Amino acid sequence: MNPISRKLATLAVGVATAMSAASAAADEVPYSRVADMLYQVMSADREAYTRMVVQRLTVDEEVITASEHFEDDVALPLPAQMFRFGAELVADESEDFSYALLSLDPINKKNGPGTDLEREGLEFVVDNPGENFYGEEELGGERYFAAVYPDYAVSEACAICHNEHKDSPRTDIEVGDVMGGVVIRMLMD
């Protein structure tokens, strides 16, 4: 197993473990608090990878590039890809919990809002910097708690990648801008 796959597996196990604990405590802890804790872990891992690996190696030291085609090139996976890989591993382990990185202006159209609540949450975090959005929705006959957190351009590498990508609908992103949101969804009892 390569170091990136090992990191993804470790992250997925950690999130799945957190989800199990969250599910067991759902009657005692508000869904919003559980989502906030899960987001803190996700956000910290994403930011650490972005700043300590991608920013340092691609922009600061110019040792390697980061590319959405990292498997074909000698390149690092993009932070959004690392996030998605973890989300996919969690989705394989749990039907009660999911998360995704979405945007009103996605580079990949699959990463746009898929429900009215996701659109509402993404619009909210863009219009209200520093605030989170919480709501409930029904999907497939099941009730879900959903939380949307702002996804910021945490480094120059984020802004450069988004602004220069051929499919990006935005070319004006600056460090600190909200680029989209992390959507966490939990099945309600």
Say how far apart CA 40 and CA 84 lie, in whole Å. Answer: 16
What six digits make up the tokens of 139?
Answer: 């999907």
Q: What is the pLDDT of residues 159-177, one digit of tens each?
A: 887 788 888 888 898 988 8
CA distances 29 to 15, 22, 178, Å, are: 17, 8, 29
State phi, psi for 163 to the nearest 5 degrees.
-70, -30
Place of tokens 């909200």: 178
Cα 19 to its chain centre, rounded Å, is: 16
Sign of CA dihedral 30, 122, 94, 12: negative
pLDDT band for position 7 (cuts 50, 70, 90): low
CA distances 18 to 40, 111, 152, 169, Å, are: 11, 25, 24, 35
pTM, rounded to two decimals = 0.81
Q: What is the pLDDT of residues 127-163, one digit of tens each?
A: 998 999 999 999 999 999 999 999 998 888 888 877 8
